[in-house]
Amino acid sequence: MRVAIVFHKNPCAHPVGIDLVRLRAIAQGLIKRGVETEIVSPVEGDRVLDGSIPVRPLPALREPARYDLVKTSYHDSIMLVEDFAGPIVSRIVRVVDERLPKRDEQVRKKLLRCQSLIRSRSSAVVLNNEENRERWHKMYGDSQLTRIIPTGCPAVLPDAGGNPYPPGPPPILFLGSVAAPRMVHMLNAAARQLRGSATVHLVGRNKAQMYGGDRDCMLDPLIMDHGEKVEDEVWPFIMHAAVGLALATGTDPFDNDVSKIFSYLRGGLPVVSEHPIVNNWLVDQTRMGRVFGHGMITELVASVHSLLDRPPEPQTRMAAMQFMAEHHSWDRRVESYMELFSLVLANGAGRG
């Protein structure tokens, strides 16, 4: 089996963010299982990522019989496939309609064009959760093959390393992108109300301006901004934090699939998570945190204090970490993709 993973930007340029963590994990996992896998993206000339993953420029898709199947990574990736004649498996994070999510208003028309192309050209669509699969079926019917393959986490963790936090109150970690203006306001309010008892830390990037935030949508100086980190540098922040914080982008569950919860729990970090994040069932199942009401800062702060005063027992942490490694590792996700690819190829190159 020869697979091209089409990625919408240069994967070698900025090796940070969950999108690149996922890309490398899936590509490496397929290669380890004997699948000839290459990343195809807008790069100049051939590259090698992480010493083992071939990266090819977009014209590779036009070479006859080079790939049996193409997997796209995000909405935009389908625009790069052009005239590839074989089967396509398309993954998208959230399904956009004419009204929701509101934060996608600036790019709604483009995302809808991408979805229309995916409906017409792809043999299968991969989504993170049932909420988005239901939206896809409602908009485009249920004749197209769909699969739920969520995000994942490492089966094996790196060493915790030294504590990256400065001395002071217990560190509360917000990992990843601040992807909506309301998240900035929630983080700022949390940092102010926790002042003296805990310190809020960001390891990631404030992207609120990309989703309708104005220039004043800035983080409070009380929040310690560590910037984006490569994956090996992220895990010490998880392992040495006291609590991991997960915030919703808005009120719609389909727009609140939060990958950081997988990382928090894999690292044994208790979580304070906002309703209606769809991954909150993991917090409940592992007994590793608290879920607070949407927009309820008082509940958020009370939940943090509760976990600082009564953190999960060591055996609860270990059980959660083992559960995530066994059931939600990248290896499990790769197995799901291999099953799907085999099914698509067995069914031929027919489009949905």
Q: What is the pLDDT of residues 21-76, one digit of tens each?
A: 999 999 999 999 999 999 999 999 999 999 999 999 999 999 999 999 999 999 99
- 156: which 2 tokens? 């094996």
pLDDT band, residue 82 (cuts 50/70/90) = confident
**pLDDT at 106 exceeding the cut of 80:** yes
Mean pLDDT of the region 239-251: 97
Number of neighbours of residue 332 by Cβ within 10 angstroms: 17
Which CATH number, 3.30.420.40, 1.10.1060.10, 3.40.50.2000, 3.40.50.10490, labels domain 2-152+329-346?
A: 3.40.50.2000
How many contiguous H segments (helices) and E segments (strands) does the chain have?
Answer: 10, 14
**pLDDT at 350 exceeding the cut of 60:** no
What distance in Å separates the CA atoms of residue 261 and residue 101, rounded to the nearest whole number?
A: 21
* Dmax (CA) of the chain: 63
pLDDT, position 207? 85
Nearest to 299 by CA among 190, 191, 204: 190
Whether residue 260 contacts residue 172, with contact meaning beta carbons closer than 8 Å, is answered with no
Alpha helices in 55-210 (DSSP H): 108-121, 130-140, 181-193
Q: Where in the chain is the domain with CATH 3.40.50.2000?
A: 2-152+329-346, 171-327
pLDDT band, residue 83 (cuts 50/70/90) = confident
- Say which DSSP state 295 is in: T
Q: What is the mean pLDDT of the chain?
A: 95
pLDDT, position 227? 94
pLDDT, position 267? 98
Sheet with 47-49: list strands edge to edge: 47-49, 53-57, 36-41, 2-6, 69-72, 88-91, 124-127, 145-148
- 308: which 2 tokens? 């600082």
Amino acid at 209: Q
What distance in Å separates the CA atoms of residue 170 and residue 245, rounded to the nearest whole number?
A: 13
Percentage of the chain beyond pLDDT 90 is 91
Percentage of the chain beyond pLDDT 70 is 97
pLDDT band, residue 308 (cuts 50/70/90) = very high
Mean pLDDT of the region 148-176: 96
pLDDT, position 215? 65
Nearest to 240 by CA among 155, 156, 323, 162: 162
- Report DSSP letters for 236-270, one per residue: HHHHT-SEEEE--SSS-GGG---THHHHHHHTT--
Residues comprising the chain, all counted: 352
CATH number of 171-327: 3.40.50.2000
pLDDT, position 352? 43
pLDDT, position 214? 67
Label residues 255-284 b or e (16+ Cβ within 10 Å = b).
bbbbbbbbbbbbbbbbbbbbbbbbbbebbe
Nearest to 270 by CA among 320, 222, 235, 342: 320
